[in-house]
């Protein structure tokens, strides 16, 4: 197998008597486009929370580029290139997109602690932020307060903030959640246009999108990995049809 950028080894997590992660071992090679699917309550977001450090696993390890990051906090993992987006917009309502993305770049480059220099003196960071916003079709609204942006634009800003950290691994938790179907195509064209060396793991419910963007699919059921395979294999697997596709009447 190719060199894995992100690896989890035997992750376990329980909330009381509920086992939300059961021996999860997955591996993301460089440039991966993996989808994480499973019925509601399968533990998809929990897995992302475990990988990014919002939750601590009871057992198991998380390796980033071969290095054990299990003991690190969320911010430290982000600085090493492990970044996520949120299913529910988690933005800065009164900052403009330009400010928010500049902030993320400032944190990445270690500029955010400099209280003696004006923001405008970090011209490179501001220009980079604007460039990123242009790339994500947000240049038009770059100087408006985030709370006044359309919902779909806020979803794009979620991704822009994550990209500003220059991730090696990007975890997208339902990037198109709540976005109308025609707009979700736009969102995923942005995902499709991400730099090829970034490894992407995304959660998505729309099977058409999953099958057109994922090169591999991980199926999660009741906190455990049911199977991991190419889309064609997953599509035709009777177990998957039974627990997931069948009940959701997709595919």
Partner 1 sequence: MADTTRPDTDPLAWIRSRSRWPVFAILLWLAALLPFWLFPTYLLLAREIAIAALFAISVDLILGYAGIVTLGHAMFFGLGAYTAGLLSARLGWGEPISGLLLAGALAGLVGFVVSFLIVRVQHLALIMVTLGLGLLTYELANALTWLTGGTDGLRGVSTWPIFNQFRFDLYGYTAYSYSLAVLFLGFLISRRIVNSSFGLALRGIRENVRRMPAIGSDHRWHLQKIYAISAAMAGVAGALLAQTTNTVALEVLSFQRSADVVVMLILGGTGRLYGAIIGAAIFLVARDQLAGINPQYWYLGIGLLLMVVVLFLPKGVLGGLSRLTGRPD
Interface ranges with partner 1 (CB under 8 A): 52, 73-75, 78-79, 83-84, 86, 90-95, 98-100, 102-104, 106-108, 111-120, 122-123, 125-127, 129-130, 139-144, 161-162, 164-165
φ, ψ of residue 145 in degrees (nearest 5): -60, 140
Q: How far apart are CB 146 and partner 1 at their closest, in Å?
A: 8
Q: How far apart are CB 73 and partner 1 at their closest, in Å?
A: 7
Distance (Å, rounded) from C-alpha 123 to C-alpha 107? Answer: 15
- Looking at the Cβ atoms of 56 and 114, the one nearer to partner 1 is 114
Distance (Å, rounded) from C-alpha 238 to C-alpha 204? Answer: 20
Q: Among 224, 219, 223, which residue's Cα sits nearest to residue 246?
A: 219
- Looking at the Cβ atoms of 130 and 202, the one nearer to partner 1 is 130
Beta bridge partners of 216: 34
Burial of 192 (0-12, 13-18, 19+ CB in 10 A): exposed
Q: How far apart are CB 70 and partner 1 at their closest, in Å?
A: 16
Q: How far apart are CB 139 and partner 1 at their closest, in Å?
A: 7
- Looking at the Cβ atoms of 71 and 73, the one nearer to partner 1 is 73
Report the sign of the C-alpha dihedral through residues 157, 162, 164, 169, in that order: negative
Neighbouring residues of 122: CB distance < 8 A, sequence distance ≥ 6: 102, 106, 111
- Answer for the pair 79, 110: CB distance below 8 angstroms, yes or no: no
Q: How far apart are CB 171 and partner 1 at their closest, in Å?
A: 10
- Looking at the Cβ atoms of 119 and 248, the one nearer to partner 1 is 119
- Looking at the Cβ atoms of 90 and 189, the one nearer to partner 1 is 90
């Amino acid at each position: 197998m190719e060199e894995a950028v992100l690896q989890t080894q035997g992750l376990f997590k329980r909330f009381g008597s509920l086992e939300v992660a059961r021996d999860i071992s997955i591996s993301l090679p460089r440039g991966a486009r993996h989808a994480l699917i499973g019925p509601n309550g399968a533990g998809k977001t929990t897995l992302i929370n475990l990988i990014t450090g919002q939750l601590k696993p009871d057992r198991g390890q998380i390796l980033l580029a071969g290095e054990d990051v299990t003991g690190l906090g969320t911010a430290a993992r982000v600085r090493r290139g492990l970044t996520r987006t949120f299913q529910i917009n988690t933005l800065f309502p009164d900052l403009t997109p330009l400010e928010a993305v500049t902030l993320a770049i400032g944190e990445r480059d270690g500029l955010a602690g400099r209280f003696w220099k004006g923001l405008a003196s970090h011209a490179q960071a501001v220009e980079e932020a604007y460039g990123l916003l242009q790339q994500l079709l947000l240049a038009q609204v770059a100087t408006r307060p985030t709370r006044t942006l359309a919902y779909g634009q806020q979803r794009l800003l979620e991704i822009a903030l994550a990209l500003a950290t220059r991730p090696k691994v990007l975890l997208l938790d339902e990037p198109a959640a709540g976005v109308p179907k025609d707009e979700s195509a736009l969102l995923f064209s942005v995902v499709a246009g991400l730099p090829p060396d970034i490894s992407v793991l995304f959660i998505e419910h729309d099977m058409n999108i999953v099958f057109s963007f994922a090169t591999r699919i991980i199926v999660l059921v009741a906190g455990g990995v049911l199977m991991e395979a190419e889309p064609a294999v997953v599509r035709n697997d009777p177990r998957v049809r039974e627990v997931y596709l069948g009940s959701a009447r997709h595919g």
